[in-house]
């Protein structure tokens, strides 16, 4: 059986480095793992008044996360935290109270930035949110990447050998993490 990983990218930008990283990571996984990037750009702004009547896009997001054995967050850092679009998606899928889809879902967190500290602070904020939501999050290795020329090759794979090895090690550990922590 296939193990399904729901990928959530914290950038809506067409040429997003984080989106490219998410695609490159999928190449490092074994063939029984499938990666699907979930849409978050069409979600309404979260409003608690709508908890009893969630929008179709919100229901879609929740069912996609629920159907996955693991979640992968690949996010930029905006002003030393996670982008609002990502927090909006997380908030939506955590509601209504008692019907969060995050609880117990094995997650991994990575990010790439143009800045030198490579999304470290955003990832720390995200880990705090996921801890509250009771989603078991792989602690390490941490992945703080800085966007540099040649990081991705012309096929969209990781183009730098050292980084490729490092991310392969990350993926191998994440695969084991998901297998160990997923209920399905
Ligand atoms: C940024 N950027 C940024 N970088 C960083 O390392 N730390 C930060 O706090 C911020 N803050 C920030 C705020 C806003 C509103 C924007 C638009 C950008 C720069 C960021 O790393 C860069 O734009 C990346 O290219 C964003 O990731 P994607 O879109 O390429 O995935």
DSSP letter (8 states) at residue 45: P
User: pTM higher than 0.95, yes or no?
Assistant: yes
Contact criterion met (CB below 8 Å) for 111 and 119:
yes
CB of 78 closer than 6 angstroms to any ligand 1 atom? yes
| Domain at 3-181: CATH architecture | 3-Layer(aba) Sandwich (3.40)
Cis peptide before 96 (omega within 30 of 0): yes
pLDDT tens, residue by residue, 84-110 = 999 999 999 999 999 999 999 999 999
Q: How far is the CA of 149 from the centre of ligand 1 (A)?
A: 17
ipTM of the complex in this document: 0.99
Q: What angle do helix axes 56-67 and 84-93 make, rounded to 10 degrees? A: 80
Question: Which residue ranges make up each domain of the chain?
Answer: 3-181
Query: What's the CA gap between 174 and 167, in Å, rounded?
Result: 10
pLDDT tens, residue by residue, 129-160 = 999 999 999 999 999 999 999 999 999 999 99
Query: What's the CA gap between 124 and 175, in Å, rounded?
Result: 22
CB of 113 closer than 6 angstroms to any ligand 1 atom? yes
CB of 33 closer than 6 angstroms to any ligand 1 atom? no
């Amino acid at each position: 059986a296939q193990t399904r990983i729901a990928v959530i990218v914290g950038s809506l930008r067409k040429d997003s480095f984080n989106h490219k990283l998410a695609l490159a990571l999928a190449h490092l996984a074994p063939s029984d793992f499938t990666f699907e990037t979930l849409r978050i750009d069409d979600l309404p702004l979260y409003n608690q008044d709508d908890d009893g009547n969630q929008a179709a896009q919100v229901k879609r997001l929740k069912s996609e996360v629920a159907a996955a054995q693991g979640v992968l967050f690949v996010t930029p850092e905006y002003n030393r935290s996670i982008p609002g679009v990502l927090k909006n998606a997380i908030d939506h899928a955590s509601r209504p109270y008692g019907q969060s889809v995050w609880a117990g879902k094995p997650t991994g967190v990575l990010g790439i930035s143009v800045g030198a500290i490579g999304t470290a602070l955003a990832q720390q904020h995200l880990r705090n949110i996921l801890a509250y939501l009771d989603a078991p999050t792989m602690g390490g290795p941490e992945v703080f990447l800085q966007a540099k020329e040649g990081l991705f090759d012309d096929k969209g794979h990781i183009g730098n050998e050292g980084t490729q090895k490092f991310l392969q090690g990350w993926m191998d550990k994440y695969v084991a993490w998901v297998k160990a922590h997923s209920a399905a």
